[in-house]
Amino acid sequence: MLSPENTNTPNSQDAVSDSFENIFREERPRLWRLIRFRLNPGIRHHVDTEDILQDVFIEASRLYADYLNGNSLAPYLWLRQIALETLRDVHRTHMGTQQSATERESYSDLPPTDAASSPLVRLVAAVTTPSAVAIRQETKVIVDQALQRLNETDWEVIQLRQFEELTNSEVAEVLKISVTAASIRYVRALERLKDIVETLPDFRQD
Amino acid sequence: MSRSLSDLHELQSLSSEERDELLGRLAEEFEFRIRRGECPLVAEYTERYPDLAADIESVFTTIVTLEGIKADDARDAEGRVSLAGGRVDQLGEYRVVREISRGGMGIVFEAEQVSLQRRVALKVLPRRMILQTEERDRFEREAQLAASLHHSNIVPVHGCGTDDGYQFYAMQLIDGTSLNELQEHELTSKRVAEIGVQVAGALHYAHKQGVMHRDIKPENLIEDQNGRIWITDFGLAADSTSVSDGGAGGTKKYMAPERATGLCKAPADVFSLGMTLQTLLSDLAEDSVSPDLTAVIDRAIDHNWQNRYQTAGELAEDLQRFLDHWPVKARKLSWFGRGLRLTRRNPALSVCLGLLFGLAWVMAILSHRNYLQSEQQKLQLFGKMSVVDALFQSNYPGRDKLSQLSEVKDSRSTQIADPTLDDHITMLRYLPDTKIDRLTDLSPDLIRAAIAARRDVGQAKKHLGRLTDARRALQYALQATDRWMFKCNTTSPFSPETTEAVLSAATLRNDLSAVLEEEMKLDEAEVLRNEALGLLDRIPLPKRNSTEYAEQLAEAHLGLGTFRPERVGLFGIWYQLDVAGHDFTIKETRETDHLDAALNVLQVSSLMHVPRIKTLIARTLVERIRWKRMLGTSWHHDDRRAEELMRELTLEFPRQANYRYVYSIVLANIRLPWDPITRTEYEIIRLRLERSLELVHSLTQNQPRRTDYIQTEVDVRHLLAELAIRCTVEGDTKLDFEVAVSMQGYLNESMTAGFSGHVRKSLLEWRFAEWLDFNEKHDQAETYRDYARQQFQLISSHDSSEPCVVAAREIIIDGTRTLTSLTERVAVGPEKTQQTE
């Protein structure tokens, strides 16, 4: 009854949008994390992570056909670019400046507390399983302070690997370095992070 | 030479590169496994690459820390979970309709079960909420068990599953309100008991099926339109640590103390239900709550699980008895108490019972080698020690003694000591004393039990004022602990058991010091306190994370920093009165350093929510305030903090005797000035002291044998009397003096404190005599002066050179020193007072 054109065209479109939605659904948590951590704390009251994610979704679905036609980026990295651009726009609108969304910001928006002793030393020393990591605010504050003191290269790689949860090869692709170099860079950054934590004034050995 | 050096250098730089590359690969794998929801062990990797162990540990622990932070960051400001950008529309066969609520563990959605076309409540746990595989298995196992429960008060679980990385379970959708939202409802004692009966009945049913709830609290109890209570989230709480850490408020409050040790049996759920009922009752006016119901709840929330109702069924039954106006069992005496009551009427029977006890123990001792096969059986021997705890329960016979005492107005009758108590203590003597030596060679469990038993006996006797017995018991426990510590230390110096033994050795030194300090053996106590500090210093850094460690370290410092007016010749609160013409001004002191150290240990935010720690902080502040007054520095901030801490604690745990005790001490920690004070100042001091008296009096009423409580009541009454004298205000001065004198007399007769009690009592009588003189009652005054002199003669010549004995002799016997005259009073009012000299 129906002509082949009539049945095929919507089907293939469905397939395209279907696969887009699948990709987006798959990458949604990582994108959420990216936006949450890179959104300037000063405007978190005005815009919600979920709203920005919605904008990213609309923009990405508009560009998806182009992406399929000519982009060699991995899907997440492509979505990530769109998310970063969307964030940049959001910051521009709300802050009236050209502030880059990638500008280094406090990872934690919790007010610093006076950490009387160092939970991290205990954690780092005693922890053997992830669940044994007591989720404590001081740890957060201390790690945040240490992150602020890292140099740009180290900070970036930790940001990508940890807070955006990119895989090593994705990091290599973003930074345009070899997989081995990315891996080594990450390990050294972690070691430096730990060294910095240990020199922080809050970190006491007794 | 230079060549080999450069080779070496090349090799090193190469291997460092290789090392980092390998580390990088391992780190990626490790991270991947965590994110997938596994729980990889760092040790897995260090064992595989022992050469890299240090690097692996350093890198991996940093990763674990970062991962831990992220998991936490997905919560909102109130600690409620979010799905961290994840979104659920469909999980398994459930289509999500709308979000109902969020908690610390999961998000509850209304959903449609597509296959059956029915509405359900779907609880979804965020990804990574459960990080350990064993935990996950347990979650699934328990959800299945919970699904097998069919009870009219348990929300039926339809099933559980995993989809898209989320754990979820589906249950019946109940149209109702959870009990934490019921506040505006008019609750009554009766209604609370009815709720308790329903919940306890359902718990009993579930326990019989082998399912624990683990997280009973008002949020998990739903009242439907018909007044029926539904228990939700059966058996689905994660283990204690994750619940308490991630808690959206207060779960810990409902958690039985033994859960901390991993023990979770029926009495743990009984405890949580008891706390829940208590929370519900806390909104009611205190006098509208029946003492019977209070007794039932008190038994349900006893700190020691062995003293609680052993099954939820027993709790349900006792609550029902309350509803039916039958006497509740919680108020009846234990068999032991009943035995004591019998022996009081019939001394001959007492001997028989004593013999029976002794015989039973002898038999147990003789036969234990071949008879007691398992450790558990052996431990049951020590389970009997819980009778010690029974001594201090409010239902212990003789609680009315003190109320009789406070009615005594003119007589000096102090025949208070209860002879049956001695029987009890004699019976206790049959317990492990004779056995500890042989038993300590067995197993750590048994050693722990033996030490704990002795320690309990020691503490019990200390509270009863039997200081010599307490010292002996604690010394015994200390010897056993030191042997244990020595043994551990030689076999495996770095094992957790060694750490435990060292901590235990420090703890007992603190306990023993506290007794010695009461006995005024201050130098011996100081040595032990310093030893305790030395021992605690031996505990390796990573093991210092426990509350117990912080507690003991602070106790040792607190002991060393305690303000001791006795050293300069005045007892207890006498320095607060400023009456002996002493010039106490000092310039500096080492003691405050100890107090600062104690506060440093305690004021760590991870500890500060622990009630025991708060109490310890308040006690430390009390001492620091005393020193600061001597040093002339500002102490008001400390005073406010201590008051605030204890006020909050007593509000939160209105039935905890120790918090009320410490609060009463905090309130009584004032110094009566000789300078004129205004009416407002007078009122403030009076209100504080009266509140303090009210608190401590309720304690002495309930536990008339606790000498520490009684001593505090004596002190507070003396302060009140003194305040009235100074401010020329008509108060209950005479009554306060009389009760104080007669209570001090009771203390001296029941305590083995030695000279200190005699000094206190004779000075108190002397002061009372002065007041009587001032009020023209010279005959009575002379009588009390005689009492004071007689009392003073009781002090052994051995103690005659103690500073406070010397001071008391100068006042009472020699007349070379006088207490500040009563005529030097301070009139209340803004105007300056006339001081007659």
User: Where residue A146 sits, what CATH number does that domain have?
Assistant: 1.20.140.160
Nearest CB partner across the interface for A124, out of B25, B28, B62: B62
| Whole-number pLDDT of residue B832 | 38
Give B584-600 pLDDT, tens digit per residue.
556 667 788 899 999 99
Same domain, B707 and B812: yes
| DSSP letter, residue B99 | E
| CB-neighbour burial class of residue B816 (10 A; exposed 0-12, middle 13-18, buried 19+) | exposed
Mean pLDDT of A141-151: 77
Nearest Cα of chain B lies from the Cα of A111 at a distance, in angstroms, of 12
Chain B residue at shortest CA distance from A206: B541
Higher pLDDT: B637 or B821? It is B637
B562 or B703, higher pLDDT: B562
Are residues A135 and A74 part of one domain? no
Residue B115 lies in a domain: yes
Cβ–Cβ under 8 Å, residues B691 and B683: no
Rounded Cα–Cα distance for residues A169 and A182 (Å): 8
Q: Distance between CA atoms of B684 and B644, rounded to whole angstroms?
A: 16
CB contact under 8 A, B39 and A130: yes
- How many domains does chain A contain in total? 2
Please check the confidence at residue B311 and state whether its pLDDT lies above 80.
yes
Q: Give the distance from residue A69's alpha carbon to the nearest chain B alpha carbon, in angstroms.
A: 28
A9 and A91 fall within a common domain: yes
pLDDT digits (tens, 9 = 90+) for B736-762: 888 888 888 888 877 766 788 888 888
Q: What is the pLDDT of residues B322-351, one digit of tens each?
A: 887 766 666 543 333 333 333 333 333 333
Q: Is the pLDDT of residue B34 over 90?
A: no
SS3 B309: coil
Name the residue with higher pLDDT: A159 or A102. A159
pLDDT band for position B707 (50/70/90)? confident
Residue A174, in any domain of the structure: yes
pLDDT at B524 over 80: yes
pLDDT at A5 over 50: no
Contact A124 B241 (CB under 8 A): no
pLDDT of residue B532: 92
Question: For position B344, what pLDDT does the model report?
Answer: 39
* Beta-carbon contacts of residue B608 (< 8 Å; ≥ 6 apart): B602, B614, B617
Q: Among B20, B42, B606, whose Cβ lies nearest the Cβ of A119?
A: B606
From A35, A61, A95, the end of a domain falls on: A95
B630-675: pLDDT as tens digits: 787 888 899 999 999 999 999 888 878 889 999 999 999 887 766 6
Taking contacts as CB-CB distances below 8 angstroms, the residues of chain A near B21 are 180, 183-184
Q: Are residue A79 and residue A140 in the same domain, yes or no? A: no
pLDDT attached to residue B382: 34
Please compute the mean of the pLDDT values over residues B611-616 and round it to a whole number.
91
Asked if B659 and B697 sit in the same domain, the reply is: no
Please indicate whether, in this complex, the C-beta atoms of A116 and B41 are within 8 angstroms of each other: no
Using left for φ > 0, alpha for ψ between -120 and 50, and beta otherwise, residue A102 falls in alpha
- Which of A135, A164, A177, A198 to probe by mutation at the B interface, max B CB count within 10 Å? A135
Query: Residue range B603-617: average pLDDT?
Result: 86
**A29, A138, A163: residue with CB nearest B605:** A138
Assembly ipTM:
0.70
| pLDDT for the residue B616 | 94
Q: What is the mean pLDDT of residues B131-138?
A: 57
Q: Are residues B448 and B484 in the same domain?
A: yes
Least confident span in B208-212, B295-299, B497-501? B208-212
Question: Can you give the pLDDT at residue B365?
Answer: 34
In a domain, B713, yes or no: yes
Tell me the average pLDDT across B452-459.
Answer: 76
Q: Which residues of B touch A25 (CB under 8 A)?
A: 87
What local confidence, expressed as pLDDT, does residue B558 receive? Answer: 94
CATH code for the domain of B213: 1.10.510.10
Same domain, B429 and B536: yes
What mean pLDDT value characterizes chain B?
A: 73
Is residue B14 domain-resident? no
Picking from A50, A135, A182, the nearest residue to B246 by CB comes out as A135
> Widest CA span of chain B, in angstroms?
108
Q: CA–CA separation, B804 vs B679, rounded Å?
A: 34
Task: Write out the H or E segment, with its range, that includes residue B749.
Answer: helix B733-750
Q: Are B339 and B397 in contact (CB under 8 A)?
A: no
Distance from CA of A29 to the nearest CA of B (A): 5
The predicted model gives A15-44 an average pLDDT of 75
Collect all residues of chain A within an 8 Å Cβ-Cβ radius of residue B55.
Answer: 191
Residues B450 and B496 in one domain: yes
Q: Please, what is the Cα angle at B809 between B803 and B812, to 5 degrees?
A: 140
Same domain as B382, residue B453: yes
Q: Cα(B762)–Cα(B408) distance, rounded to whole angstroms?
A: 19
Q: Which two tokens stand for residue A91?
A: 């910051």
Contacts of B127 in chain A (CB under 8 A): 29
Residues whose CB is less than 8 angstroms from the CB of residue B763 and which lie 6 or more positions away in sequence, other chains included: B571, B574, B788, B808, B811, B812
* Interface-testing mutation among B65, B81, B135, with chain A (most A C-beta atoms within 10 A): B65
> Is B553 part of a structural domain of the chain?
no
Residues B98-128 pLDDT 10s:
887 776 567 788 888 888 888 888 887 766 5
- What integer pLDDT is reported at residue B614 of this predicted model? 92
What CATH number did the domain enclosing A28 receive?
Answer: 1.10.1740
Q: Which pLDDT value is given to residue B458?
A: 81
Last residue of some domain: B123, B152, B172?
B172
Among the listed residues A59, A61, A60, the one whose alpha carbon sits nearest the alpha carbon of residue A17: A61
> Residue B636: exposed, middle, or buried by beta-carbon count in 10 A (0-12, 13-18, 19+)?
exposed
Q: Residue range B759-777: average pLDDT?
A: 87
- A148 falls within a domain: yes
In this predicted structure, what is the pLDDT of residue B200? 94
Give the number of other CB atoms < 10 A from CB of residue B323: 15
Which among A117, A140, A193 is the top mutation candidate for probing chain B, defined by the most B β-carbons within 10 Å of its own β-carbon? A117
Cβ–Cβ under 8 Å, residues B393 and B424: no
**Which residue type occupies A193?**
L
Beta carbons of A116 and B70 less than 8 Å apart: no
With 90 as the cut, is the pLDDT of residue A45 above it?
no
Local confidence band at B448 (pLDDT 50, 70, 90 cut-offs): confident
State the DSSP string of A65-107: HHHHHH--S-HHHHHHHHHHHHHHHHHHHHHSS---TTS---S
Regarding whether B648 and B698 lie in a shared domain, the answer is no
Of the candidates A103, A104, A115, A105, which has an alpha carbon nearest to the alpha carbon of residue A141? A115
CATH of the domain at B687: 1.25.40
Please give the pLDDT value at position B389.
32
The verdict on B445 and B525 lying in the same domain is yes
Which residues of chain B make contact with A194, given a CB cutoff of 8 A? 58-59, 61-62
- The pLDDT assigned to B347 comes to 39
Chain B residues with beta carbon closer than 8 angstroms to that of A31: 85
**Best to test chain B binding among A129, A143, A171 (most B CBs inside 10 Å):** A129
Higher pLDDT, B377 or A201: A201
Q: Average pLDDT for residues A188-201, to the nearest whole number?
A: 80
Residue B37 sits in the same domain as residue B112: no
Q: What's the rounded mean pLDDT across residues B3-14?
A: 42
Cα(B474)–Cα(B454) distance, integer angstroms = 7
Average the pLDDT over each of A9-13, B218-222, B313-317 and give the range with the smallest value. Answer: A9-13
Euclidean distance between the first and the last CA atom of chain B, given in angstroms as a whole number: 97
Domain containing B584 equals 565-671
Reported confidence tier of residue B384, pLDDT bands at 50, 70, 90: very low
Q: Which residues of B95-122 are buried (b: 16+ CB within 10 A; e: fewer)?
A: ebeeeeebbbbbbbbebbbeeeeeebbb
Residues B294 and B331 sit within 8 Å (Cβ to Cβ): no
Q: Does some domain include residue A112? A: no
Q: Are B836 and B824 in contact (CB under 8 A)?
A: yes
Which pLDDT belongs to residue B196?
A: 93
Using the structure block, give the residue that is written with the tokens 């309930």.
B702
User: B79 lies in a domain?
Assistant: no
Query: Quick one: A12 and A78 in the same domain?
Result: yes
Q: What is the mean pLDDT of residues A114-131?
A: 29
8 Å CB contact of B135 and A131? yes
pLDDT exceeds 70 at position B583: no
Least CA distance to A202: which residue of chain B? B604
> Do A78 and A134 fall into the same domain?
no
Residues A91 and A170 in one domain: no
Asked whether the beta carbons of residue B21 and residue A184 sit closer than 8 angstroms, the reply is: yes
Residue contact B85–A53, C-beta within 8 A:
yes
Question: What is the band of B298 on the pLDDT scale with cuts at 50, 70, 90?
Answer: confident
Which one of B26, B52, B62, B99 would you mutate to disrupt binding with A, by most A Cβ within 10 Å of its Cβ? B62
pLDDT computed for residue B551 by the predictor: 92
HEC-encoded secondary structure of B51-95: HHHHHHHHHHHHHHHHHHHHHHHCCCCCCCCCCCCCCCCEECCEE
Place of tokens 């260090």: B46
Please give the share of chain B, as a percent, with pLDDT higher than 70. Answer: 68
3-state secondary structure of B120: strand
Structural domain including A172 reads 119-199
CB pair distance less than 8 Å for A139 and B542: no
User: Are residues B798 and B684 located together in one domain of the fold?
Assistant: yes
Q: Which residue of B has its CA nearest to A147?
A: B66
B619 has pLDDT over 90: yes
Same domain flag for B189 and B313: yes
**Among B459, B387, B402, CA closest to B704:** B402
Q: Taking CB atoms and an 8 Å limit, are B606 and A188 in contact across chains? A: no
Q: Over pLDDT 90: what percentage of chain A?
A: 2
A18 in any annotated domain: yes
Instruction: Indicate if B406 and B478 belong to the same structural domain.
Output: yes
Residues A81, A156 within the same domain: no
How many structural domains is chain B composed of?
A: 6
- Same-domain check for residues A86 and A127: no
Residue A123 to residue B61: CA distance in whole angstroms = 8
DSSP, res B164: T
